[in-house]
Amino acid sequence: MSIEVGLKGRFESVVTQEKTATAVGSGLVPVFATPYMVAMMENAASDSLIPCLAPGESSVGTHLNIAHSSATPVGMKVWAESVVTAVEGRKVTFEVHAYDERGEIGSGVHERFIIHAEKFMAKTQSKLEG
């Protein structure tokens, strides 16, 4: 199956104390942490690609340009949505948005590359050799 413009993804969670800015060290207030919002956006995008990948393939995030525009308190449901906006060879570009139960909390652009997992890991592990 090929990756096509318009492919959508979604990932959802609930804000817990462990997912706050104070818990992860990204701020001093107990609200949904930006690093977790980023992770949700990446999960929405990467999960949407899984059915399109050939055996042995995976994807890696290579670029993310986002804004976190609204704080979310502990206990509230949050989710991220992605949509493929461009496919250029192995590079896949997504528009990403994050929401809580009151509206949009973030948005941006995310890029992923399709990789051959074994080759990618061999190259990565070679860094340990010197």
Is 95 an active-site residue?
Answer: no
Of the candidates 68, 72, 81, 110, the residue annotated as catalytic is 68
Q: Judge whether 10 is annotated as a binding position.
A: no
Q: What DSSP line would sit under 34-81, residue for residue?
A: HHHHHHHHHHHHHHHHGGGPPTTEEEEEEEEEEEE-S--BTT-EEEEE
CA 118/CA 38 separation, integer angstroms: 26
Is 27 annotated for ligand binding? Answer: no
Among residues 34, 72, 81, 110, the one annotated as catalytic is: 34
Residue of 4, 16, 20, 42 marked active site: 42
Classified as helix, coil or strand, 43 is helix
CB 108 within 8 A of CB 96: yes
Q: Please give the annotated binding residues for substrate, written as ranges.
A: 61, 112
Annotated binding site: 61, 112
List, by residue number, the catalytic residues. Answer: 34, 42, 68
